[in-house]
Amino acid sequence: MIALITGATSGIGKSTALLFARNGWDVIITGRRPDRLKDLASHVEKETGRKALRLEFDIRERKAVSGAIDGLPAEWREIDVLVNNAGLASGLSLIQEGDPDDWEKMIDTNVKGLLYISRAVMPLMIARGKGHIVNIGSIAGKEAYRKGNVYCSTKFAVDALSRSMRIDLLEHGIRVTSVNPGAAETEFSLVRFKGDESRAKKTYQGYDPLTADDVADVVYYAATRPAHVCLNDITMTPTAQASPAYMYKKEG
Ligand code: NDP
Ligand code: 8X3
């Protein structure tokens, strides 16, 4: 069995790739940082004995994405599960003060990048009459929150794409699942706050956030249901979080 996980150099994608490999899957791992891809591939191979194929590209570059999938060696083309995980938030600003460069980064990565890789992989699944696409959405794709504007919009788009894919791919026997996490402690906030470590750390203080492993666990669970079962939409939060805006934090 083969799983392709985008954004596997960090956080949820890295945990997901490891979990699939630990359960006997070969993995295709993607991201922009070659050193991290290399480290993960050797970790996978040493710890699990499974194979890991590295694909280094910026998911915003349509030709690079389609070229990487078109160029897959024959033994890697039978992708059973595509985990559309690569994504980011860039900045946290009121809409009237937002930086259009941040907006473009988020839209190009979270929406267009997801489309590019899906467009390249779906024909391979259709040819086999089976496959599973797991899109990593967010609670930000279920409810908007203050200063979340464009990030929320991209995740609302992911939600709409999951629903649309499920309909369009129905006749091909391809399952589509949306996994929508709340706050998970990864490099997400470090990226959102552009390297400001103390601000990123603060995001996860005063409660127990989700871990990348918690999310990977749910992705793997969804991917390993019997063939006739499709989990459509799974929203998961830390116990201390009820919605993007309601977080119970302990003082101190
Ligand atoms: P991380 O920052 O830890 O990981 C993000 C991954 O996405 C990295 O592997 C990164 O790889 C990849 N990525 C980002 N931009 C690009 C790009 N242009 N081209 C290729 N790969 C890219 O964050 P998370 O693990 O938290 O995020 C994973 C997904 O989960 C995202 O879609 C995020 O929106 C979503 N999410 C996260 C939540 C959280 O609280 N952490 C909650 C809900 C959803 P590289 O930099 O090497 O390219
Ligand atoms: C990431 C979680 O609440 O910061 O999607 O939007 S949140």
Per-residue pLDDT at 251: 80
Backbone angles phi, psi at 150, to 5 degrees: -75, -40
Which run of H or E residues covers position 236? strand 233-236
One digit per residue, the tens of pLDDT, for the chain of length 252 reads 999 999 999 999 999 999 999 999 999 999 999 999 999 999 999 999 999 999 999 999 999 999 999 999 999 999 999 999 999 999 999 999 999 999 999 999 999 999 999 999 999 999 999 999 999 999 999 999 999 999 999 999 999 999 999 999 999 999 999 999 999 999 999 999 999 999 999 999 999 999 999 999 999 999 999 999 999 999 999 999 999 999 999 986
Burial class (CB in 10 A: 0-12, 13-18, 19+), 35: exposed
**Ligand 2 atom 3: residue of nearest CA:** 244
CA distances, 240 to each of 30, 112, 205, 207, 236 (Å) = 32, 32, 11, 6, 11
Looking at residue 162, its pLDDT comes to 99
pLDDT reported for residue 14? 99
Pocket of ligand 1 (CB under 6 A): 7-13, 31-33, 36, 58-60, 85-88, 109, 136, 138, 181, 183-184, 186-188, 191, 212
Give catalytic residues, as residue numbers. Answer: 151
Place of tokens 């063939």: 227
pLDDT value at position 76?
A: 98
Q: Alpha carbon of 224 to those of 81, 151, 209, 218: distances in Å?
A: 10, 30, 25, 10
pTM above 0.95, yes or no: yes
Q: Ligand 2 pocket, 91 CB below 6 A?
A: no
Cβ(92) – ligand 2 distance below 6 Å: no
Question: In this structure, which amino acid lies at residue 223?
Answer: A
Residue 177 Cβ inside 6 Å of ligand 2? The answer reads no
The three state secondary structure string of 31-53 is ECCHHHHHHHHHHHHHHHCCCEE
Question: Rounded to an integer, what distance in angstroms lies between the CA atom of residue 213 and that of residue 219?
Answer: 10
Instruction: Please enumerate in sequence order all residues whose Cβ is within 8 A of that of 184, keeping only pairs 6 or more positions apart, or say none.
Output: 11, 12, 209, 210, 211, 212, 214, 215
Instruction: Quote the pLDDT of residue 252.
Output: 63
